[in-house]
Amino acid sequence: MIRQALRRNPWSFLGPAGTQFLAAALVAAALGITASIGRAPLAAAERRAVTDSGLPDMAMVFLMLAIYLSIIIVGVTMSATIAQQARDIALVRAVGATPGRVRRAIAAQAACVAVPATLAGVPAGSAGGRAWLDALVAHGIAPPAVVFQAHGGALPIALAITVGTSLIGALVAAVRPSRVRPAVALAETAAPRRRIGVVRTVAGLILVGGGIALSSAIAGGSAEAADQGGLFVMLAMCVGAGCLGPALLRVAAPAARLLGDAGRLAADNIGISARALSGALVPLTLAVAFAAVKVVSYTTRTHVTGDAGPAADRWLEYSGTAVYAAFAAVAALNTLITLQLSRRRDLAVVRLAGGTRGRTLAVVFCEALVVTGTALAVAAVVATTTLLPLLHTALGTWTPWLPLTWLLAGVLATAALVLAGTVLPAALSLRRPPIEAVG
């Protein structure tokens, strides 16, 4: 069953493998940078200067971010991939496989993908960490004595994160098709359930409500407390929004009807496949919100105080944010491509029913616009909830400020990412004769 799954869905496993590779690289780089700063042979005055610069604290924050993001995003991408196998799991159950055997096979699939991806990602992360630390020295942020040293625990820690989160994500996705009667599971793959589970809904509401409550609490404290708590506000709200993702997409779907016949068909498709599409919301929201918080913090500070700050400090903060935002963006792209490739048969059926290639792509384009708009709206709420206490405690203002050109650039970049993950795979799959895809 494991070999058959990997042979039947090779493209769907490339997405999680890519995400696991990047997660392992990020963790290895962050661990190495933290260890290198701590072990550097510095004189007392140099050590004090490095500590006063805030670099060790920032390195620790990078490490925490790497671990948190890896745990969240790797689990989400693996869950989305296994969810595409619901029909195969139901068929295996129909011929006599027990739920326990199915779960063991799913766990083995997750490990087979995660282990080699992590083994390749750790050395790549060490190389990236070395380059980043060299750049710190070149910009005068770190003294030349700070030389990259690989962390001895990077491989076991990265394996624990990628394999552990992949197993959890895969097993969660396989719970229902492995437990319900095979006939019911097959019927659900033909007509997916539209309702969100009670547990998922409650978890989403608790996480979103907890994020808002934490944001309100830290807004009345010190700037340091707000800075430390902001990360947890963002993560809680992103994961909560991911849990509520199907409902959010269904609320946004009717807007596509304003785009004509293709938009009306796209709205109906999103209503049916909202659960699958919501798998891309968490990494997409994280990528946009991460970048927005960092950029708007800087632009608002400059707008309020007129002080742009040292160029080296800006490079340090932007380079770190760019790495994490790129990681989340690649995970979102992987998830969207995986979902789109799994729809090849559905697109072929549309063409057999009389839809031209251009009209079919127009439907996919309208779906991409809805996903983009939903992700931007959710990310704006997350970023605003995270930013307000930071701005109020540090600058005494409740009003974020961002130049219009920067805002447009962010919107276009998000739209380009979603279109690359949806329209391009659909265009490639439509090159195949529809009768072959259906067969």
* Number of compact structural domains in the chain: 2
Cβ-based burial of 152 (10 A; exposed 0-12, middle 13-18, buried ≥19): exposed
Which letter, b or e, does each residue of 400-438 get, where b requires 16 or more Cβ atoms within 10 Å of its Cβ? beeeeeeeeebeeebbebbbebbbebbeebbeeebeebe
How far apart (Å, rounded) are the C-alpha atoms in residues 266 and 253?
A: 8
Q: Tokens standing for 46?
A: 């140099």
How far apart (Å, rounded) are the C-alpha atoms in residues 49 and 46?
A: 5
Q: Supply the mean pLDDT for the chain.
A: 84
**Judgement on whether residues 180 and 231 belong to the same structural domain of the protein:** no
Q: How confident is the model at residue 11 (pLDDT cuts 50, 70, 90)?
A: low
Structure confidence by residue, pLDDT tens digits, 285-326: 888 998 899 899 989 999 888 877 777 777 777 888 888 888
What pLDDT was estimated at residue 192? 62
Lowest-pLDDT choice from 4-8, 48-52, 166-170, 371-375: 4-8
**Judgement on whether residues 39 and 180 belong to the same structural domain of the protein:** yes
Mean predicted confidence (pLDDT) in 350-367: 86
Q: How confident is the model at residue 377 (pLDDT cuts 50, 70, 90)?
A: very high
**Judgement on whether residues 9 and 115 belong to the same structural domain of the protein:** yes
Q: Which position has the token pair 């790497």?
A: 66
What pLDDT was estimated at residue 10? 67
Say whether pLDDT at 59 is over 80: no
Give the end of a domain, one of 191, 219, 240. Answer: 191
How far apart (Å, rounded) are the C-alpha atoms in residues 208 and 239?
A: 8
**Judgement on whether residues 157 and 213 belong to the same structural domain of the protein:** no
The model carries a pTM of: 0.83
Q: How confident is the model at residue 6 (pLDDT cuts 50, 70, 90)?
A: low
Cβ-based burial of 255 (10 A; exposed 0-12, middle 13-18, buried ≥19): middle
**Judgement on whether residues 162 and 228 belong to the same structural domain of the protein:** no
Lowest-pLDDT choice from 191-195, 229-233, 394-398, 400-404: 191-195
**Judgement on whether residues 149 and 226 belong to the same structural domain of the protein:** no
**Judgement on whether residues 107 and 234 belong to the same structural domain of the protein:** no
Q: Which position has the token pair 């070395």?
A: 130
355 vs 364, residue with greater confidence: 364
Give the end of a domain, one of 157, 191, 225. Answer: 191
Structure confidence by residue, pLDDT tens digits, 154-191: 999 999 988 888 888 888 877 777 776 767 666 666 66
**Judgement on whether residues 401 and 331 belong to the same structural domain of the protein:** yes
Say whether pLDDT at 439 is over 70: no
Say whether pLDDT at 344 is over 90: no
Say whether pLDDT at 329 is over 80: yes
Give the end of a domain, one of 151, 172, 191. Answer: 191
Mean predicted confidence (pLDDT) in 46-65: 78
Structure confidence by residue, pLDDT tens digits, 110-128: 888 889 999 999 999 999 9
Structure confidence by residue, pLDDT tens digits, 89-111: 777 777 777 888 888 888 888 88
**Judgement on whether residues 274 and 367 belong to the same structural domain of the protein:** yes
**Judgement on whether residues 295 and 386 belong to the same structural domain of the protein:** yes
Domain of residue 85, residue span: 1-191
**Judgement on whether residues 70 and 208 belong to the same structural domain of the protein:** no
How far apart (Å, rounded) are the C-alpha atoms in residues 407 and 189?
A: 40
**Judgement on whether residues 152 and 278 belong to the same structural domain of the protein:** no
Cα 359 to Cα 243, 259, 426, 434: the distances in Å are: 32, 13, 12, 14
Q: How confident is the model at residue 330 (pLDDT cuts 50, 70, 90)?
A: confident
Lowest-pLDDT choice from 70-84, 210-224, 254-268: 70-84
